Structure 1
Amino acid sequence: MNLPTVLVNARIPRLAFATVSTDDGAAAEQALPHLHQLGHRRIGMLMGPADHIPSQRKLAAARALLERLGTPLSDEMIVNGLYSLESGQAGGSRLFGNGATAVVCASDPLALGAVRAARRAGLRVPQDVSVVGFDDSALMSLHRAASDDGPPADRGDGPDGHRALLSQIAGTAAGGDELLFEPELVLRGSTGPVAA
């Protein structure tokens, strides 16, 4: 139909639509070295649904990076779920039960669920286990949990998404352009050295 269209959060390879999203690979590449420097070698990945492209990007980057660091990511350290507090709690329980000393979560609600799972297991954050979220939502500033932030004040429905759409309408931009935002790791108190 040739309607100007902008996708938010993930490109669809077979469709030449403009896309505004966070560089999910870069998010993983910030969180994992931080945890690795703190001594964590059993790092769990608590992701969204397996077919969700941002989770796939984070997981692919995590696999490659942990392989380079000499601590390959095992299947028991990966849990896929829904983007909810309950799913984070269930996934966190599973990962901590499998021996994870740190968990990188694909969203802040998942991270808050993982924190809840740690507490229910008698673990303290960050003294016993570390947790990192993603999105840097207002919830995380209330909780003091580390989080990778996404596009500053823009998830694609803000100024940059609007500009991309208006450029297409004006005929000044190609439909397949992708705008990736570089995330920034925000440390607040949910990560610490691996427990002895």
Structure 2
Amino acid sequence: MDETSQKIIDAAMSLVRDKGYVATTTKDIAREAGVNECTLFRKFQSKKDIVLSGMEQERWRGNLTPEAFRNIQWELVPDLEMFMTEYMNRITPDFVRLSIGLRAPQLYEEAAPLVMKVPQAFLSTLTEYFQEMERRGKLPHMDFECLALTIFSSTFGYTFLNASFGDQLFSVSREQYIRQSVQTFIQGIQNQK
């Protein structure tokens, strides 16, 4: 990709993150990228084309793949803490705001599969982890997809609230939240045995 195209993509994604897809115009993108609108349209067919090109780039999507969770110890507490920590390390407040900005009806059909790659990577990897823990005799048989969704929802919720409000809403540190969430989760599993 040439430098001008990348400037246009970076400008568009920054504006969508800050203003939302609908409020971002091609004039705004051109101005932010330091090019004229004609140049923008020589490089891309539309605003949607620019944004979808940006979503294909690792820089503008959550860099979360199953490989992020490779430091497994096969012990529930450190492993669940690792899953939550890796998610929170990679899904930054900027990415959360960008994913919110991308939720426009004009873009949803094309954007949703790309945005869903992040939760899919987390959920599928954690579900497989739970299944392996059962095979190793460290977990009883349970609805592992539901358990993975519980951990993901807790992790996503903290990440979303932190991105939206910072420390204005709560004073619980990320580390404290992870430790307490994992302990509560494990107590819940033990009560079901």
Q: TM-score, normalised by structure 2?
A: 0.28
- Rg larger for: 2
**Higher fraction of strand:** 1
Q: Relative CO higher for 1 or 2, CA cutoff 8 Å, sep ≥ 6?
A: 1
Bigger share in helix: 2
